[in-house]
Amino acid sequence: MSTIYFTEDHEWIAVEDGVGTVGITSFAQSQLGDVVFVEVPEVGITLDKGGEAAVVESVKAASEVYSPVSGDVVESNESLPDAPGTVNEDPQGEGWFFKVKLTDPSELDDLMDLVAYDAFVAEHS
Amino acid sequence: MTAHNPAADSADSPLVTPLHALHVELGARMVPFAGYDMPVQYPLGVLKEHLHTRAKAGLFDVSHMGQARLVGPDRIAALEALCPGELVKLKEGRQRYTVLTNDAGGILDDLMITNRGDDLFLVVNAACKDADLAHIEAHLAGFDARLERLEDRALVALQGPAAVGVMAGLDARAADMVFMSGMGLTLDGADCFVTRSGYTGEDGYEISVPADRADALARRLLAEEAVEAIGLGARDSLRLEAGLCLYGSDIDTTTTPVEAGLTWIIGKRRREDGGFPGAAVIQKQLAEGAPRLRVGLKPEGRAPVRAHAEIQDLDGKAVGEVTSGGFGPSLEGPMAMGYVPAALANEGTKVNVMVRGKALPAVIVSMPFQPHSYHRG
């Protein structure tokens, strides 16, 4: 069973056995609109917490996806660049971007749980 | 995730159009644009709104644009003194696209002019309207002409292949109009001035309607099966696919009509005789060629390139900048326009565009990216 955390930049990370699966939230995709281009990180690269990890673009705007934690990319969603609309259809499921092996699990303490994130969205939308 | 939206402006207390309540009722996402609170998209979303307009018909609120009329016996001479268009030969009931130039040959704004017989009807860009109208008024001295702002009118556009059927259902005369013509029509009981033109590359109409009748007319048009409300997001992707310039991005005071690929708007007589601001600069460029030109760019991959991305030649030297770019829903891929030196402006020339520090290959292409479907009669 994984535990899910959220960032103020509207990424989610579901952590299980020291590996986090990362994507953007349903709120984020609704704000972005129709996603037409996705770039996922290469497997093996090292990400810093808060560093640029992936790219997501709608018809009008380009956005960066930041890594919620530090660690090495162990898997990328290779089907996503060919089907960017998946980010809109299932942002917190099939629309995941990459999986990262955490170097410092204590970084998760800085993130929000679902209740806190929902309150954050309500306050900022 | 952090979004960057270059289209968004900031504004203290935004103005609203007569259709504002309707936009909110339809569930539009409203954004500040040129001082107005405008719909960027409706629940349908930019992609589907774009495709719907190309397939059927889209209704756009463009009431933020400036409408004015120039009256008086010298109205044509007065306007010819400010723009390079051939207006003497503009027949009654015909519309023309032109630009206001400055003394350096740069573009102050682009605008539409219709000869309505007893006046010239002007439609100018929202962000420029105060400056444009002040500029025109300041140059009326010595002419027997007067500018009147039409503050009490809204402007809506109905664009797409189904527009003609919808309009003909309201006033049969609409079907007989040709591209770039204008006439008075009675739509849903309202006295409107309608032109067969637009900003999408599709057949369609722009409707100047009394502000107090705009909401009822918009609802009447939206009641048609074929018509959906379309926001500014799709308006931008539609015009970019059509290769049409956005003032402030693709043309501005630093670009001449020749550099912008708009030499076709300069009348033959005007090329020879001049008599508009910056004529000497523009005539020299017409004779000798412009140092740089606006071109279409087709990126090779799927990644969109956006405005302000650097264009490099194949040796890695910076040669220009993207002025508009994005994803074309009908094109099903990225597209852009920008300026490059004349030597690199030929169709088929390969360049690179810098996106997030990477050089993405792109090729110079002719525009439009999607063929126009105007009704030329």
If asked whether residues B54 and B174 sit together in one domain, one would say yes
How high is the pLDDT of residue A124? 81
ipTM of the complex: 0.87
Burial of A47 (0-12, 13-18, 19+ CB in 10 A): buried
d(CA A66, CA B339) in angstroms, rounded, equals: 33
B31 CB neighbours in chain A (<8 A) are: none
**Of B208, B225, B241, which marks where a domain is finished?**
B241
How high is the pLDDT of residue A61? 87
What is the CATH classification number for the domain harbouring B362? 2.40.30.110
Given an 8 Å threshold on Cβ–Cβ distance, is B1 in contact with A28? yes
Domain presence at residue B69: no
How far does B325 lie from chain A, in Å, by closest CA? Answer: 9
Element (H, E) at B135: helix B129-138
How far does A64 lie from chain B, in Å, by closest CA? Answer: 5
B303 CB neighbours in chain A (<8 A) are: 37, 39, 55, 57
How far does A2 lie from chain B, in Å, by closest CA? Answer: 22
If asked whether residues B58 and B190 sit together in one domain, one would say yes
Q: What confidence category does residue B100 fall into, taking pLDDT thresholds of 50, 70 and 90? A: very high
β-bridge mates for residue B324, sequence order: B337
Q: Please count the structural domains in chain B.
A: 2
If asked whether residues B310 and B231 sit together in one domain, one would say no
- Name the more confident of B142 and A60: B142
Fold (topology level) of A3-116: OB fold (Dihydrolipoamide Acetyltransferase, E2P) (2.40.50)
B44-83 pLDDT, tens digit per residue, is 999 999 999 999 999 999 999 999 999 999 999 999 999 9
Domain presence at residue B34: yes
At B191 the three-state DSSP class reads strand
In DSSP notation, B31-99 reads EEETTEEEEEE-TT-HHHHHHHHHHSEEEEE-TTSEEEEEESTTHHHHHHTTS-S--TT--TTBEEEEE
Q: What confidence category does residue B9 fall into, taking pLDDT thresholds of 50, 70 and 90? A: very low
Given an 8 Å threshold on Cβ–Cβ distance, is A63 in contact with B3? yes
Given an 8 Å threshold on Cβ–Cβ distance, is B1 in contact with A56? yes
* Residue A105 scores a pLDDT above 70: yes
B46 CB neighbours in chain A (<8 A) are: 33-34, 58-60
**At which residue do the structure tokens 């309009």 appear?**
B167
Distance of CA B156 to the CA centre of its chain: 13
How high is the pLDDT of residue B86? 97
Q: What confidence category does residue B311 fall into, taking pLDDT thresholds of 50, 70 and 90? A: very high
Of A60, A65, A66, the CB nearest to B233: A60
Residues near A45 by beta carbon (within 8 Å), at least 6 away in sequence = A72, A73
* Residue B287 scores a pLDDT above 90: yes
d(CA B1, CA A8) in angstroms, rounded, equals: 8
Which residue of chain A has the CA closest to B47? A34
CB of B113 within 8 A of CB of B67?
no
CA distances from B317 to B324, B346, B365 (A): 21, 18, 20
Domain presence at residue B261: no
Between A and B, how many CB-CB pairs are < 8 A? 70
How high is the pLDDT of residue B5? 46
Given an 8 Å threshold on Cβ–Cβ distance, is A37 in contact with B303? yes
Domain that holds residue B38: 20-63+152-241
Residues near B124 by beta carbon (within 8 Å), at least 6 away in sequence = B65, B66, B68, B109, B111, B132, B133
Tokens read off for B170: 């309201």
Given an 8 Å threshold on Cβ–Cβ distance, is B329 in contact with A59? yes
Q: Return the domain boundaries, chain A.
A: 3-116
Given an 8 Å threshold on Cβ–Cβ distance, is B3 in contact with A61? yes
Given an 8 Å threshold on Cβ–Cβ distance, is B1 in contact with A64? yes
Domain presence at residue B366: yes
How high is the pLDDT of residue B8? 46
Which segments of A33-113 does DSSP mark as H helices, in order? 86-89
Residues near B233 by beta carbon (within 8 Å), at least 6 away in sequence = A33, A59, A60, B40, B41, B46, B49
Element (H, E) at A55: strand A52-58
Which residue of chain A has the CA closest to B328? A59
Domain presence at residue B189: yes
**Of B173, B207, B241, which marks where a domain is finished?**
B241
Domain presence at residue B83: no
Given an 8 Å threshold on Cβ–Cβ distance, is B5 in contact with A60? yes
CA distances from B96 to A72, B218, B266, B267, B335 (A): 59, 26, 11, 11, 27
If asked whether residues B209 and B320 sit together in one domain, one would say no
CB of B247 within 8 A of CB of B228?
no
Domain presence at residue B225: yes
d(CA B16, CA B31) in angstroms, rounded, equals: 11
* Residue B6 scores a pLDDT above 90: no
A55 CB neighbours in chain B (<8 A) are: 303, 356
* Residue B210 scores a pLDDT above 80: yes
Quote the strand ranges of chain B, DSSP E: 2-4, 29-33, 36-41, 57-61, 66-71, 95-101, 107-115, 120-124, 146-149, 153-159, 182-187, 190-195, 204-210, 227-229, 292-299, 310-312, 318-328, 333-341, 350-355, 358-365
* Residue A40 scores a pLDDT above 70: yes
The answer to whether the bond into B257 is cis (omega within 30° of 0) is no
CB of B149 within 8 A of CB of B133?
yes
* Residue B12 scores a pLDDT above 80: no
Average predicted confidence (pLDDT) for chain A: 96
If asked whether residues B43 and B172 sit together in one domain, one would say yes
Q: What confidence category does residue A55 fall into, taking pLDDT thresholds of 50, 70 and 90? A: very high
How high is the pLDDT of residue B261? 97
d(CA B221, CA B230) in angstroms, rounded, equals: 12
**At which residue do the structure tokens 């033109």 appear?**
B197
Note the residue count of chain B. Answer: 377
Note the residue count of chain A. Answer: 125
**Which of B233, B274, B272, B278 is closest to B253 using CA atoms?**
B278
Given an 8 Å threshold on Cβ–Cβ distance, is B1 in contact with A24? yes
How high is the pLDDT of residue B266? 97
Best of B1, B44, B238 to disrupt the A interface by mutation (most A CBs within 10 Å)? B1
How high is the pLDDT of residue A2? 87
Q: What confidence category does residue A1 fall into, taking pLDDT thresholds of 50, 70 and 90? A: confident
How far does A8 lie from chain B, in Å, by closest CA? Answer: 8
**Which of B143, B31, B115, B107 is closest to B276 using CA atoms?**
B107
